[in-house]
Chains A and B, each alone.
Chain A
Amino acid sequence: MSQPSARKTRLCFVIDKLAMRSGGAERVLIETANALYDRGYAVEIVTHEVRGKPPFYPMTKGIIRSNIRPRNQHRPRLWRVLGRLRTMLHRNRTFLPGLAHLQWVSQHASFRHRLAKHIDSVRPDVVIAFLPPAVTALGYAKITHKPRLFASLHNVPEQDFDNPERWDPNPVDRKLRRNVLSRFDGIGTLLPEFVEWFDPALRDKILVMPNAAQQIDAASVETTKRESVVVSVGRLATVKQHEILINAWSLLYRDFPDWRCDIYGVGPLKDQLRAQIDALNLNKVVHLRGATKDIESVYLKASILAHPAEFEGFGLVITEALSHGVPAIGFENCSGFNYIVEHDVSGIHVPSQGDRSKNFAVALARLMNLPQEQRRLATAGRERVNDFAPDKITDVWEQAIHGTYGRENHDKQAN
């Protein structure tokens, strides 16, 4: 499938914002762009953002980054003042008919317009929009040149399209976001279970494309000295439900005096979680470690990954932990987690009914008590991660780029 290094096929990835963003989707975008560049594609990443800073994740030299938004410092003062007034308008959360549309135009039309102009002047063969803001802008961009358009989605569809709290809460945006999908030649979603959410007319365009998982060499996993540590990695946000883990720890820490719980990540709930730890008097055993650039060492020392999230688009953290030989514990109804981890094979599914903190504590205690069980699950987990090997996932991306899947492919072959 991979082409020789002639860079004949030009790919254009589009994402609203990338500067210094350390999120999962941004990481997937850059890793995918790097992998496709290495396979001989010409790759450009287009953003539309105020900040002129570089991306958080390392990008292969050779990939062109284009921020198509004019810089504020180059604009006249009056324009900047108007810009600030518009930003205030964009914060409005009372959406009146007509005015809501006006607000949407003020907030998003320039991205759509500039993107169309850029694509017409660069003429890529395939344009791939990452995350809903870019998907909406690309779908409605009036492009004269006709590249293949692909929408790459990185969350549970209900969250991306139905949750009024996610992305732009303006109902106009939500409506356009849903309707725009029919304009794409292909749609990528993370898990097979997400396909059912989409309109039946779109399903032939959908390609399930999980995230790639980093492969760690067996020697470093087998020779590492594990500590009695349960780690949890993820943004300190409501959806990750770290409070359940902290409550669970309060139920079991007396029985496991040698164990500690390290929570890595930053986010809006930091103070609230800190207060909860203080209130439960867990300061010596539960630690908020913040962000780290050396997560690999963390996984190599940890014995168990606790992942109490409500849902996951995919769950990069889970595949990362498994590839480092760390068995994972999470709720049975957490999408992403239950797709990657098989119960009692590569991790533990915690019942989601009843007292969730107590259930989590029971599952944790069982595994903390059984080092042999930890090793058995870890071995199976590493095998599972092979299904998400970067080469395999890049092959899937090449299917997305060339449209060699679903009905589109069958029609091509028939012709």
Chain B
Amino acid sequence: MTTLDVLIPHYNDSSALALSLESIENQTWAGSKRVIVVDDGSERDELQKTEQVILQSSLNIELIKSPENLGRPKTRNKLLDAADAPFLAWLDAGDIWYKDKIQSQFNCLYDLVHKGDDVDTHWITCNYDWKWEGKRRRKVDQIARGDQLKELFIGDKLRAYLWTLLGTRKSFERAARFDERLLRLQDLDYFISFVRAGGRLVTPSNRNSLCCYFKSDIGRNAAEIRGCYNTIFNKHNAALLEFGPTFTQRAKSKADFVASRFAKNNSEHGLAMAYKFHAFKSDPRYALFRLKQSLNQG
């Protein structure tokens, strides 16, 4: 039995998958691992190329094919069902891990065991690089201090990205399943569910970026993003009630700014302005802070 299952959803992007697999091959961690790729109904040509990529890789890879495109959350649930190693890590096709990622995160897990903590209640996240197309890589720190639930709702200091994680299979079961209604932001819902279920995120002592996210908003529907935020806010309203209406308005305003960014990057300038206006209505102080920040950055 392998020690680590690496779970990758894939759809119509074999070259991106090749990049991700290569980064797994280069890991310094020498334990036994298996990569599970669920292909989410890629077109025939792309599927053939994907099979070629997998054949050429030196990794132990299991390919599961969906006959039709089911969407990211269902694919991730299929990955959860297929995994049976005691430890799990996630990667999205197209994103990469740096060579020390898994080793650093296992070291952090060993530290937890040494301290007598329950590893099944912890996820190990890490700092990462954020790379917009045509721009330089920017390091993003994951700050696991403080109230993690609050930080996840706001998403400034602690962000919900699955590919930063390593944890035990039991720890991932704690967050139950990916919500199949959420075509976007299912990571955020999954993280919030984990923390609400008593889970805690920790970061390794290695504060370097341990992976890289190649970010693009192109082709992503801003209204869909905002709709998914609404679903998450409604679903976790009981948690928001703990923090009060001021905090909730801040979280909603932040969601409007994210939707506005997606709209702007897809040249929907009117919609982007509408979201900004909505953000101002929700939390004028935060909207003005963002405006000031934006002016400062030119």
B-binding residues in A (CB < 8 A):
5-8, 10, 42, 46, 52, 61-64, 66-71, 73-74, 117-118, 121-123
Contact = CB atoms under 8 A, between A and B. Distances in A.
A286 B244 CA distance: 50
Interface stretch (B96-104, B171-179, B203-211): B171-179
A225 to B, nearest CB: 36
Contact of A121 (B170, B173, B234, B239): B234
18 contacts: A5-B173, A7-B173, A8-B177, A42-B176, A42-B177, A46-B238, A52-B242, A61-B118, A64-B193, A64-B197, A67-B242, A74-B241, A74-B245, A117-B237, A118-B237, A118-B238, A121-B235, A123-B181
Contacts of A42: 176-177
Interface in B163-194: 170, 173-174, 176-177, 181, 193
B121 A66 contact: no
B244 A74 contact: yes
What 10 A-B pairs have minimum CB-CB distances, sorted nearest first?
A66-B238, A121-B234, A61-B198, A74-B244, A42-B176, A7-B176, A121-B235, A62-B197, A62-B174, A64-B196
Interface residues of B, number: 24
B231 interface: yes
Interface in B229-258: 231, 234-235, 237-239, 241-242, 244-245
A70 B174 CA distance: 26
B198 A62 contact: yes
A209 B271 CA distance: 55
B80 interface: yes
Nearest to A6: B81
Contacts of A118: 237-238
A328 B176 CA distance: 43
Given A67-B242, A74-B245, A123-B181, 20 more contacts: A5-B170, A7-B173, A8-B177, A10-B176, A42-B176, A52-B242, A61-B197, A64-B197, A66-B238, A67-B238, A68-B237, A68-B238, A68-B241, A70-B241, A71-B242, A73-B244, A117-B234, A118-B237, A121-B231, A121-B235
Given A8-B177, A62-B198, A122 B235 contact: yes
Contacts of B118: 61
Interface of B: 80-81, 118, 121, 170, 173-174, 176-177, 181, 193, 196-198, 231, 234-235, 237-239, 241-242, 244-245
Given A61-B198, A64-B197, A71 B173 contact: no
